[in-house]
Chain A
Amino acid sequence: NAGVTQTPKFRVLKTGQSMTLLCAQDMNHEYMYWYRQDPGMGLRLIHYSVGEGTTAKGEVPDGYNVSRLKKQNFLLGLESAAPSQTSVYFCATSTGETQYFGPGTRLLVL
């Protein structure tokens, strides 16, 4: 039982490049979330999903897209990376109020 896993753990991108972050869960949770963590700002919600095939915008959605084609996976895409997207990205899952977090993906955009 792996819980919530994130791929990759670390990535360096050049400005304008694209990439996809993968979040996978084996807990059969309906809700999934993508957050970014920046120093002194806590975690801010990017996008979330309340079930397979659904997505919704969070607090800071610009520059990101998401997809939830399978219940167990939630993908976060950056079409054209910018230095402002340098951050640590966390995925989380939930069946109700308590959220369970993955270990994070550290992204550096040069």
Chain B
Amino acid sequence: GDSVTQMEGPVTLSEEAFLTINCTYTATGYPSLFWYVQYPGEGLQLLLKATKADDKGSNKGFEATYRKETTSFHLEKGSVQVSDSAVYFCALSDLRAGNMLTFGGGTRLMVKP
């Protein structure tokens, strides 16, 4: 079945540092890919998405490019802020099963001032 693997955390960075969170996937079809963010005590929020190969999703300074050849969707940000501290989840959707999402295990990001 489909699966998503993302780097384990926590990732601890200083403010204004460069962020990369790796995400790779396995899927039998052509999934859409997502990054969701979860702030403490809250539900998940969509951060960005890409629906086909070579698409780049971007939002709030975060970017990720759908790389079919490497089955990856790494999340990047050029300069993180303390307010970016959260748990980040990579996910893919399966159109064949009610658009259900398959999630990676999540990566906790801690940004220190």
How many A-B contacts are there with CB distance less than 8 Å?
Answer: 62
Q: Is the CB of B42 within 8 A of A103?
A: yes
Other-chain contact of A101, B8, B43, B49, B102 (Cβ < 8 Å):
B43
In the complex, what distance in Å separates the CA atom of A96 from the CA atom of B99? Answer: 7
Q: Is the CB of A42 within 8 A of B105?
A: yes
Q: Mark A69-94, 1 if CB is under 8 A from B, else 0.
A: 00000000000000000000010101
Q: Please, which residue of chain B has its CB at the minimum distance from the CB of A106?
A: B41
In the complex, what distance in Å separates the CA atom of A90 from the CA atom of B103? Answer: 13
In the complex, what distance in Å separates the CA atom of A102 from the CA atom of B41? Answer: 11
- Count chain B residues whose beta carbon lies closer than 8 angstroms to a beta carbon of A: 26
Query: Main secondary structure on chain A at its contact with chain B?
Result: strand
In the complex, what distance in Å separates the CA atom of A38 from the CA atom of B86? Answer: 16
Q: Is the CB of A45 within 8 A of B101?
A: yes
Verify if A99 is at the interface (C-beta below 8 Å from B): yes
Q: Is the CB of B43 within 8 A of A104?
A: yes
Chain B nearest Cβ from A31, distance in angstroms: 6
